[in-house]
Amino acid sequence: MNNKIIRLGHGAGGILTNQLIKTIVLKYFTNTTLRRLEDSAELNVKKNNIAFTTDSYVIDPIFFPGSDIGSLAIYGTVNDLAMKGAIPKFISLSLIIEEGFSIEKLKKILKSASQAAHRAGVSVVCGDTKVVERGKADKIFITTSGIGIIKLHLGKEKIQIGDHIIVSGTIGDHGIAVMNERLQLGLKSTIRSDAAPLNVITTKLFHHTSAIHFMRDPTRGGIASVLNEIVDGTTKGIMIYERDLPIRREVRGACEILGLDPLYVANEGKFVALVDRKSASTLLKKIRNQPLGRNAKIIGEVISEPKGVWLKTKIGGTHPLLQLEAEGLPRIC
């Protein structure tokens, strides 16, 4: 194994990505905000705490059922802010375009991003455009950054043993929709990306100040990877119940054909929330009252032992949900 070059897995959101960030990136940039390795930075601007986040989108293909790179770039960044307990407000949008890219497609992407921003209630307030020679980039890459006003202070340190884990809807839709399009699998299905603005739901939960302990959106690497990141560095474990996982029949079928575990497949419009067990059913009801959250379920809980992330299967067995070295789906966002 050549450790001197970048591999696709370094960008896949698994162990390799984690290693790259911890052993290389954090070596050069050390501040307490960045070291938390959360998706958004919490910044104190005098009296108002703001959340600040960034993501680059290199998804292939750029158009896919249910969304495209434009709206994805807005929702992805909006969702990172929402997960931080913030109201997303301002977005920056920077384009790297390959020479020869179709202006018509650019318009389509920008229109889609614009509609997404409108739906999420954010303003795109600054941007940049760079063009590189033909063959030096793949069609278009978009980097968005976002600023939000923090309303709810969340953190791993708030997670308690016994907390219930809510997922806001069906899992794996985005990854399977993109794979179906990319590989031209021709799966006869209605599977569409779930790309959507999560702040539409989370903003309704903000008055439950102490009941919500932590939130994350399971994008690259899916639910299993995100849950692993959540327990990483804590002394707690997580148990997930297979029978409670909301998975569309078509997604389950596609995963079987492709040999994928839906727990590791990317989502772009779902979140997991770790909440106080006493408030869990109230919160679940509020989430299900929103169209985007109507399939929400309680899927598991925080446990003291064993450490790590575990799946209780339908037939009663228990097996570990390990963090993958590099997930099998590059360029999924």
Enumerate residues 36-65 that contact a second copy by CB under 8 A. 39-41, 43, 45-48, 50, 52-58, 60
Size of the site for a second copy (CB under 8 A): 82
Tokens of 212: 């919500």
Tokens of 36: 């938390």
For residues 101 to 140, the per-residue mask of contacts with a second copy, x marking binding by CB under 8 A and - elsewhere, is: xxxx-xx--xx-xx--x-----xxxxxxxxxxx-xxxx--
Give the shortest CB-84-to-a second copy separation in angstroms: 10
d(CA 212, CA 214): 6
Can residue 228 be called a binding residue for a second copy (CB under 8 A)? no
Q: Which amino acid is at 10?
A: H
Find out whether 38 and 84 touch, Cβ atoms under 8 Å: yes
Whichever of 128 and 256 has its CB closer to a second copy, that residue is 128
Can residue 325 be called a binding residue for a second copy (CB under 8 A)? no
Can residue 207 be called a binding residue for a second copy (CB under 8 A)? no
Whichever of 7 and 156 has its CB closer to a second copy, that residue is 7
Region at 149 (left for phi over 0; alpha for psi -120 to 50; beta for the rest)? beta
Can residue 149 be called a binding residue for a second copy (CB under 8 A)? yes
Can residue 9 be called a binding residue for a second copy (CB under 8 A)? yes
C-alpha pair distances (Å), 307 with each of 70, 256, 300: 39, 29, 14
Whichever of 33 and 279 has its CB closer to a second copy, that residue is 33
- Secondary element (H or E) of residue 87: strand 86-98
Burial class (CB within 10 angstroms; exposed 0-12, middle 13-18, buried 19+) of 205:
buried
Q: What torsion do the CA atoms of 82, 225, 43, 90 make, to the nearest 10 degrees?
A: -40
Can residue 264 be called a binding residue for a second copy (CB under 8 A)? no
Q: Which one of residues 1, 5, 235, 259 is an interface residue with a second copy (CB under 8 A)?
A: 5
Whichever of 24 and 257 has its CB closer to a second copy, that residue is 24
Give the shortest CB-24-to-a second copy separation in angstroms: 6
Give the shortest CB-93-to-a second copy separation in angstroms: 7
Positive/negative CA dihedral, 228, 234, 239, 245: negative
| Alpha-carbon radius of gyration of the chain | 19
Region at 6 (left for phi over 0; alpha for psi -120 to 50; beta for the rest)? beta
E-strand stretches of 151-236: 164-167, 212-216
Q: ∠ CA(229), CA(30), CA(147), 5° rounding? A: 70
Q: Which one of residues 75, 141, 264, 271 is an interface residue with a second copy (CB under 8 A)?
A: 141
Can residue 147 be called a binding residue for a second copy (CB under 8 A)? yes
Stretch binding a second copy (CB under 8 A), from 34-42, 179-187, 266-274, 312-320 = 34-42
d(CA 264, CA 242): 14
Residues 154-183 that bind a second copy (CB under 8 A): none
Q: Which one of residues 90, 206, 279, 295 is an interface residue with a second copy (CB under 8 A)?
A: 90
Give the shortest CB-55-to-a second copy separation in angstroms: 5
Give the shortest CB-164-to-a second copy separation in angstroms: 29
Q: Which one of residues 10, 216, 236, 270 is an interface residue with a second copy (CB under 8 A)?
A: 10
Whichever of 106 and 303 has its CB closer to a second copy, that residue is 106
